[in-house]
Amino acid sequence: MATDVSKDGTKRHIDRIAAMQDYALYRDLSWEGTFEDYLDIVRKRPQVTRNAFQRVYDMIIGYGTEEYIDNKKKLVRYNFFKDELEGGRDAIFGLDIPLMSLVHVLRAASEGFGPEKRVILLHGPVGSSKSTIARLLKKGLEHYSRTPDGSLYTFRWKNLKDTGLAGKDAADGDIFPCPMHEEPLRLIPEAWRAKAIAELGLSNEHFKVKVDGDLDPACRFLFKHLLDRYQGDWAKVIENHVTIHRMLVSEKDRVGIGTFQPKDEKNQDSTELTGDINYRKIAEYGSDSDPRAFNFDGEFNIANRGIVEFVEVLKLDVAFLYDLLGASQEHKIKPKKFSQTDIDEVILGHTNEAEYKKLLNNDSWRPCATARSRSTSRTSRACRKRRASTRRTSTRIASRASTSPRTRSRSPRCGPCSRGSKTRRSTTCLCCRS
Ligand SMILES: Nc1ncnc2c1ncn2[C@@H]1O[C@H](COP(=O)(O)OP(=O)(O)OP(=O)(O)O)[C@@H](O)[C@H]1O
Ligand SMILES: [Mg+2]
């Protein structure tokens, strides 16, 4: 028994295990505060407001790089891909050039040069570490969100019981976590957000705070109703009903990382990506267009501010690729019954080379292929190569098709027998000459 052990002067087993826990870290990770506290954090470290691409790029760069010369070319090796977190279990070797182009794409996206509007497609032969790269990025982001450099914050609504917005179900309590883990600065209405950021001096010389987009439908609903309740007093809504807390990215808890895997058509529809109606709550709230009666728990929803991975993306039904196009190009998704909702996430797909080539040869998938061809430099190169090879092939076919008539018309005719001469220089065919 535990008490007997204590009498012997030895520590209880439970105490020995408890001593291993890092309480300071726990307190740090479960930080909660007011909006005012959060503004102080942003003023000190504006990087907490980075978008998903900026965060992923900074995470990779944060591990450091090594430069080396190979075949007279300067190459960069990113330490991130050595998987030091797990002692090199998922380390990637010999792929420095493709990894460099991947990091370049992430860098361009983080600076808003265009790739942020594309799906990043990893393609290559079977067993060429596509899944491993995706796994490394997801794992890395989980760990990064637990470090001071990679910390990020979100909010939850509180004290909703008295407002009548919490619903009749007592189990719901009076707390409503933001379902898409939004950036708290999105609570400042878009009309005066940029001005507020400038006046409060939230940006510094290293990082300019820029928060785009609006709240998700559920938070917008609560915000609007609370604003009406306080006759438009924004400060009261924020002080009385908003708590900011740290967001810990976790694939298992479905926070900041989503994974979508193709299944058979009957078991899969687009609600898996953008969320579904909660039929139990329709009875409570009376309408299926009430955002409180909707689960914003699709893969795009939960992956907001992180990464969504599409495993074997080209095996997906075409219907899913339309959602993917909107999500990548517009950074918006369309949950059933609600307006378009802003998302901020890195969309990563992977596929093997055979599927990728099949896609390029499939005319009915051409629009998607064109969109993807702009996604990464590798893809663009592949596309250019394909176009060139198509040109070559068509030239070859055209020349083959035209060989006989043109050759006949151009090649000299044999004088005595008027048959086509075998050689271009001679005007008499071999049989007549002999
Ligand atoms: N360049 C590499 N360096 C180290 N390990 C590698 C490399 N390429 C592949 N591997 C190893 O090979 C195994 C298969 O890799 P992985 O599953 O990531 O490949 P894949 O490209 O996703 O394959 P598939 O097309 O079958 O999905 C993993 O254990 C991975 O660690
Ligand atoms: Mg794989």
So where are the chain's domains? 32-45+146-348
Residue 351 phi/psi, 5-degree rounding, is -155, 155
Distance CA 114, CA 108 (A): 7
206 compared with 270, residue with greater pLDDT: 206
Q: How far is CA 353 from CA 259, 376, 429, in A?
A: 21, 15, 52
213 compared with 404, residue with greater pLDDT: 213
- Ligand (nearest to CA of 129): 1
Give the DSSP H or E segment for 308: strand 307-310
83 compared with 412, residue with greater pLDDT: 83
**Candidate from 95, 121, 128 with most ligand 1 atoms within 8 A of CB, to mutate:** 128
CA 416, distance to chain mean position in Å, is 76
Residue 157 phi/psi, 5-degree rounding, is -85, 145
Q: Indicate the pLDDT class of residue 159, thresholds 50, 70 and 90.
A: confident
Tokens of 100: 């460099």
**Candidate from 86, 93, 129, 351 with most ligand 1 atoms within 8 A of CB, to mutate:** 129
- Ligand (nearest to CA of 135): 1
Residue 237 Cα to ligand 2 midpoint, Å, equals: 47
Distance CA 305, CA 178 (A): 13
Which ligand 1 atom lies nearest to the CA of residue 95? 1
Which ligand 1 atom lies nearest to the CA of residue 93? 3
CB-CB contact of 47 with 150 (8 Å): no
Q: Indicate the pLDDT class of residue 310, thresholds 50, 70 and 90.
A: very high
Residue 372 Cα to ligand 1 midpoint, Å, equals: 23
Residue 112 phi/psi, 5-degree rounding, is 75, 30
- C-beta pairs of 129-135 under 8 Å, 24+ apart in sequence: 129/92, 129/95, 130/350, 130/351, 130/352, 131/311, 131/350, 132/90, 132/92, 133/81, 133/92, 133/99, 133/102, 133/350, 134/309, 134/311, 134/348, 134/350, 135/90
Tokens of 156: 């939850």
CB-CB contact of 347 with 120 (8 Å): yes
- Give the torsion through C-alpha atoms of 376, 377, 378, 384, to 10 deg: 110
**pLDDT by residue (tens digit) across 78-101?**
999 999 888 889 999 989 999 999
CB-CB contact of 175 with 160 (8 Å): yes
Percent of the chain exceeding pLDDT 90 equals 48
DSSP notation for 86-111: GTTTT---S-HHHHHHHHHHHHHHHT
pLDDT for position 173: 64
Q: Kindly report the three-state secondary structure assignment for every residue of 383-404.
A: HHHHHHHHHHHHHHHHHHHHHH
pLDDT for position 323: 82
Q: Indicate the pLDDT class of residue 293, thresholds 50, 70 and 90.
A: confident
Which ligand 1 atom lies nearest to the CA of residue 92? 3
Q: Is the CB of 125 under 6 A from ligand 1?
A: no
Q: Indicate the pLDDT class of residue 12, thresholds 50, 70 and 90.
A: confident
Shortest-distance Cα residue to atom 12 of ligand 1: 127
Stretch 126-143: mean pLDDT: 93
Give the DSSP H or E segment for 257: strand 257-260
Q: How far is CA 341 from CA 145, 301, 332, 386, in A?
A: 24, 9, 5, 36
Shortest-distance Cα residue to atom 25 of ligand 1: 126
CB-CB contact of 372 with 381 (8 Å): no
Residue located via tokens 């075949």: 71
Least confident of 1-15, 82-96, 274-288, 319-333: 1-15
- Can you tell me whether residue 148 is helix, strand or coil? coil
Give the burial string for 75-96 (b: 16+ CB within 10 Å, else e). Answer: eebbebbbbebeeeebebeeeb
pLDDT for position 373: 39
Which ligand 1 atom lies nearest to the CA of residue 122? 21
Distance CA 363, CA 254 (A): 36
Distance CA 252, CA 380 (A): 34
Q: Indicate the pLDDT class of residue 65, thresholds 50, 70 and 90.
A: very high
Q: Cβ contacts of residue 38 below 8 Å, gap of 6+?
A: 153, 184, 244
- Can you tell me whether residue 326 is helix, strand or coil? helix
Stretch 380-408: mean pLDDT: 39
pLDDT for position 382: 45
**pLDDT by residue (tens digit) across 344-385?**
999 999 998 888 888 788 766 554 444 443 434 344 444 445
Residue 127 Cα to ligand 1 midpoint, Å, equals: 4
pLDDT over 50 (residue 195): yes
Stretch 42-58: mean pLDDT: 94
**pLDDT by residue (tens digit) across 135-158?**
999 999 999 999 999 999 999 999
Which ligand 1 atom lies nearest to the CA of residue 125? 25
| Of residues 356, 330, 39, the one with CA closest to residue 203 | 39
Which ligand 1 atom lies nearest to the CA of residue 134? 18
Q: Is the CB of 351 under 6 A from ligand 1?
A: no
Give the type of residue at 176.
Answer: F
Residue 92 Cα to ligand 1 midpoint, Å, equals: 8
- Ligand (nearest to CA of 353): 1
Mean per-residue pLDDT of the chain: 81
Stretch 20-42: mean pLDDT: 92
Q: Indicate the pLDDT class of residue 414, thresholds 50, 70 and 90.
A: low
Distance CA 315, CA 264 (A): 10
- Can you tell me whether residue 311 is helix, strand or coil? coil
Shortest-distance Cα residue to atom 30 of ligand 1: 129
**Candidate from 132, 311, 352 with most ligand 1 atoms within 8 A of CB, to mutate:** 132
